[in-house]
């Protein structure tokens, strides 16, 4: 067995649980390789981190059935959940251990055809199995959404906000504002992120990526449940988009469309 350095920073009881989980995976006749990946392979700090394991198997359905049965009776397990298929993980099983939920382990069950899409990170640790056969199938992964796609998503969500305020559906408007804010986060993090692991969620580790001024921008676009607050934060989102464009991007399309949408939102001050 080969463990990453982060294993040594776990408590003794957590190490025991990790060993048992790894042995249960090895007991699966369909499994032929186990990878430990994610952030704990590039840092020894495991506090508040999930441990990410990739079980490479011949038959995903049979392996998943076996592992769910074995995992369900593990000592110290509080609860587990089947989370479905994720391209970078495979069929995900999430487990939480101990009364304080201090240990979380994610096991992705993936077949040979999944290997080109999974993402155990820049420094995967092959715990056991046919590492050479698997490693040649892995590809460097990045999750940077096309800039034009993010821009269009923001503008569409702004129009959705307007429509739902007019309908009196403020919870819907709040949701669309959250989506627009996340896309704006993506524009900023795509422009500045240099971390060795690229995450699909732009808000992941955003505090360690953006400047204080940029973080302040996002704290100022978190609304409360009022029409006025939603409108104010929507307009600030568009201001943040304009600032991003000035710092990182030049496109006349934004110069034309942002003012139009701002005028529409400004004209709604009488609603609510």
Cβ atoms of 268 and 162 closer than 8 Å:
yes
124 and 151 in a single domain? The answer is no
- Show Cβ contacts of residue 175 under 8 Å, excluding neighbours closer than 6 positions: none
Instruction: Give strand pairing partners of 77.
Output: 97
Sort strands 125-129 and 31-37 into parallel, antiparallel or unpaired: antiparallel
> Which whole-number Å values give the CA distances from 36 to 4, 42, 77, 80, 154, in the listed order?
8, 11, 20, 19, 36
Cβ atoms of 11 and 48 within 8 Å: the answer is no
The verdict on 155 and 122 lying in the same domain is: no
**Is 13 in the same domain as 86?**
yes
**Does 271 reside within a domain?**
no
pLDDT band, residue 16 (cuts 50/70/90):
very high
Question: How is residue 253 written in tokens?
Answer: 């399309």
102, 161: one domain:
no
154 and 262: one domain? Answer: yes
Kindly indicate the confidence band of residue 85, based on its pLDDT and cuts at 50, 70 and 90: very high
Query: Is the same domain home to 159 and 261?
Result: yes
In a domain, 140, yes or no: no
pLDDT in tens, 200-259: 677 877 888 888 988 999 999 999 999 999 999 999 999 999 888 877 666 666 767 788
Q: Is residue 25 one of the residues assigned to a domain?
A: yes
| Residue 272 maps to a domain | no
Specify whether 17 is located in the same domain as 95: yes
Does residue 231 sit within a domain? yes
- On whether both 82 and 126 belong to a single domain, the answer is yes
Q: Which of 104, 135, 166 is the last residue of a domain?
A: 135
Residue 16 lies in a domain: yes
Number of domains in the chain: 2
**131 and 151 share one domain:** no
pTM for the whole structure? 0.80
Residue 226 contacts residue 165 (beta carbons within 8 Å):
no
CATH number of the domain to which 175 belongs: 1.20.120.330
Express each pLDDT in 106-150 by its tens digit: 999 999 999 998 988 878 899 999 888 898 888 877 666 788 888
Q: Is residue 90 part of a domain?
A: yes
Distance CA 32, CA 129 (A): 5
Q: With the C-alpha atoms ordered 61, 128, 18, 92, is the resulting torsion angle positive or negative? A: negative
| Same-domain pairing of 47 and 157 | no
Domain final residue pick, 108, 135, 162: 135
Looking at the fold, whether 99 and 154 belong to one and the same domain comes out as: no
Per-residue pLDDT tens over the stretch 34-67: 999 988 887 666 666 789 999 999 999 999 999 9
Digit-coded pLDDT (tens) for 178-207: 999 999 998 888 776 655 555 667 787 788
Residue the block writes with tokens 């959940």: 81
Query: Among residues 112, 135, 158, which one ends one of the domains?
Result: 135
d(CA 51, CA 106): 6
138 near 82, Cβ under 8 Å? no
Residue 87 lies in a domain: yes
Q: What's residue 68's pLDDT?
A: 97
- Domain of residue 73, CATH code: 3.30.460.10
Which domain range does residue 124 map to?
A: 5-135
| Strands 77-86 vs 90-97: parallel, antiparallel or unpaired | antiparallel
Domain match, 248 and 182 both:
yes
């Amino acid at each position: 067995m080969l463990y990453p350095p982060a294993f040594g920073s776990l408590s003794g009881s957590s190490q025991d649980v990790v060993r048992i989980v790894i042995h249960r995976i090895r007991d699966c006749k369909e499994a032929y390789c186990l990878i430990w990946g994610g952030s704990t392979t590039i840092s020894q700090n495991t506090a508040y981190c999930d441990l990410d394991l990739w079980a490479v198997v011949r038959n995903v359905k049979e392996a998943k059935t076996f592992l769910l049965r074995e995992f369900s009776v593990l000592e110290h397990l509080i609860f587990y959940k089947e989370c479905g298929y994720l391209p970078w993980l495979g069929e995900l099983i999430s487990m939480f251990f101990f009364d304080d939920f201090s240990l979380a382990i994610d096991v992705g069950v993936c077949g040979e055809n999944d290997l080109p899409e999974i993402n155990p990170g820049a420094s995967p640790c092959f715990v056991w199995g046919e590492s050479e056969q698997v490693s040649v199938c892995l590809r460097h992964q990045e999750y940077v959404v096309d800039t034009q796609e993010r821009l269009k998503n923001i503008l569409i969500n702004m129009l959705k906000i307007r429509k739902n305020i007019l309908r009196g559906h403020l919870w819907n408007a709040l949701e669309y504002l959250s989506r627009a804010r996340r896309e704006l986060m993506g524009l900023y993090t795509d422009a500045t992120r240099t971390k060795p692991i690229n995450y699909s969620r732009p808000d992941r580790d955003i505090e360690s990526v953006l400047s204080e001024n940029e973080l302040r921008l996002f704290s100022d676009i978190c609304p409360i449940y009022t029409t006025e607050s939603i409108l104010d934060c929507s307009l600030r989102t568009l201001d943040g988009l304009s600032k991003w464009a000035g710092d990182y991007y030049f496109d006349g399309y934004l110069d034309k469309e942002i003012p139009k949408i701002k005028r529409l939102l400004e004209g709604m001050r009488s609603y609510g």
